[in-house]
Structure formats: C-alpha cells, structure tokens
C-alpha cells in the first residue's frame, strides 16, 4: 500500500478518496474548503496545509478539480504542487479540463522533473461512490503502468488512450455523445407524448434495439419519475462542452451539433436549471411542445 496525495474533495473527490482508503492506502488531502477536509480526515485521511505540502510528502498526487484554471493554479501557482513535489514524482490529474491545458501543465511539470498523466473520468457521483468510473488516460505508457493499480481502485474501466492530453480529448468525445444522446431522447419522447403514446412504453419498445444506449437506460427512468437531482449537473456539462468547442476551434474541427447543445444547456441554465441533472435537457423540448414526459400510473 502507498501514501497518496489527493487534492480536490468535491462530490467526486470525496468518494474517490474514500475508495483509496478502503483499499488500504494512506491518503494526504487538501481542499480550499476546510469543512470537506475535516469530513475526510474524520474518515481516516491526513490533512495538509497546501498543495505543495501534499506533494512534499508523497510520490503520487491525484488532483480532482473543477476546470482548467483551478488545475493550473493548484499545480503551477503559489504553494502549488510543483513547489513541493519531489523529482520523479507523478501527478495524476483526474479533472475534466481542456486537452491544451493538460499539455501546458505537463510541460511545466516536466521542466521541474515531475511526471504527469491526465486521467479524466466518466460515471458521475454514483460511479465515484461505487468505484465503477470509466477512466481514460493520456500519458507515457510506463507512467500509466505505474499508476494503473491506483486507478483501478477508483474505476472499473481504465484505458490508456494516447499521449498527454488524449485522456481529456476522449472525455470531451464522451461528453458530446452523452449530451446529444439526452437531447435526442428528449426530442423523441416529446414527439411520442404529443402523439398520445405512453413514454415508458416507447422506452421499453426501443431500448433493446439500435436506438438503445447506456444513456437511455440511465436517464429515461429519471425523466419518467421527474427526478432531476444530480448526478451530473448541467453546469458541469456546460463546462465540458465549452472545452470541446474550444478544442474544436484549436484543431479546426467544426462541431455544429455540439454548438447547438451548448446553446440548449445555456438556455436551461438561464431558466434556473444549472444545478439540475443533465437529464433535465429533455425539459427544453417539453417546453417547446408544451408536454411533460412522465410515468403514467395505470
């Protein structure tokens, strides 16, 4: 068992950290919110005073942060990871950020003799709690192999997809597919309800065919029960889609459907739904047609 640093104890970070401790690892933690640090320490973690303090005590530092600016600040900023990290140590950044930022932070770390992989996750809070996250990793194969056992404590699927930044590129691909899947589900079920068909019957009829998907199976019951408690908030999906559009611009890759779903989610945010689960994307289509997709009690 190892001593591992963990920075970022949000709704994903806390259960991920808990799973590392359940597996027998000692975990040294830091977060800007002291209350969440105290919560994790009460469960067996050890508190540090700064990212640099975390890095000075371990050889592997996991970061799980909201977006690109926070990762840059925590790693490269004052009292950041690179101020305290030992040469040869490795940063495992599990945040969902822009691939270009992952490369920038990697280069800064390399200049200090510190290694880095980007390892964003899919599966949301339920996956973090159950340790069933899908983890897509970018980096050197040797670095990946050194970290894979730790990653498998937090996820059920851990795949090396390419060099640094590739992990976040694949995560953006994932987020585009998920968002557009939910949008298609909302538009289709809206049509069915408008025509007077039971939406649960539509789901049961098509889920086993080509239109079926993990997204449909996970999100349709939530929609039918009008349960939009996150899960994965629309606000966070907006962030990921913005990173996808930024990356598309950098690569000269037009993403017209991604641009459309970005506007749909932004409209929902304006209406106060930013904190809702992204399954609430369906409500955009409901409002256009003045219907509600809900379970019918027979």
Q: Which residues are marked as active site?
A: 171
Residue 37 has, within 13 A of its CA and on its CB side, a CA count of 18
Query: 140 vs 23, 55, 88, 118, CA distance in Å?
Result: 25, 21, 13, 10
For strand 133-138 and strand 121-122, is the pairing parallel, antiparallel, or unpaired? Answer: antiparallel
Residues 6 or more apart in contact with residue 85 via CB below 8 angstroms: 52, 55, 56, 61, 91, 109, 112, 114
> How far apart are alpha carbons 66 and 43 in whole angstroms?
23
């Amino acid at each position: 068992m190892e001593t591992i640093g963990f920075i970022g104890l949000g709704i994903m970070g806390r259960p991920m950290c808990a799973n590392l401790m359940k597996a027998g690892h000692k975990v040294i933690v830091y977060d800007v919110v002291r209350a969440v640090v105290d919560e994790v320490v009460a469960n067996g973690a050890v508190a540090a005073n700064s990212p640099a303090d975390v890095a000075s005590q371990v050889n592997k530092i996991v970061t799980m942060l909201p977006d690109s600016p926070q990762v840059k600040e925590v790693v490269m900023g004052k009292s950041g990871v690179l101020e305290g990290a030992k040469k040869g140590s490795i940063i495992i950044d599990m945040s969902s950020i822009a691939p270009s930022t992952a490369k920038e932070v990697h280069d800064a770390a390399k200049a200090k003799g510190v290694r880095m992989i980007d390892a964003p996750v899919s599966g949301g809070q339920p996956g973090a709690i159950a340790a069933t996250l899908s983890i897509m990793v970018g980096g050197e194969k040797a670095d990946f192999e050194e970290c894979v056992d730790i990653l498998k404590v937090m996820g059920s699927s851990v795949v090396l997809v390419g060099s640094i930044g590739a992990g976040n590129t694949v995560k953006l691909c994932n987020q585009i597919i998920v968002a557009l899947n939910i949008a298609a589900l909302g538009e289709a079920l809206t049509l069915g309800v408008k025509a007077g068909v039971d939406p649960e019957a539509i789901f049961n009829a098509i889920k086993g065919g080509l239109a079926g998907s993990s997204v449909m199976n996970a999100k349709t019951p939530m929609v039918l029960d009008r349960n939009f408690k996150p899960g994965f908030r629309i606000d966070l999906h907006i962030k990921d889609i913005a990173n996808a559009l930024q990356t598309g611009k950098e690569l000269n890759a037009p993403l017209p459907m991604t641009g459309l779903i970005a506007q749909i989610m932004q409209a929902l945010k304006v209406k106060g739904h930013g904190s809702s689960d992204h399954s609430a994307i369906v409500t955009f289509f409901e409002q256009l047609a003045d219907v509600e997709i809900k379970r019918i009690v027979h």
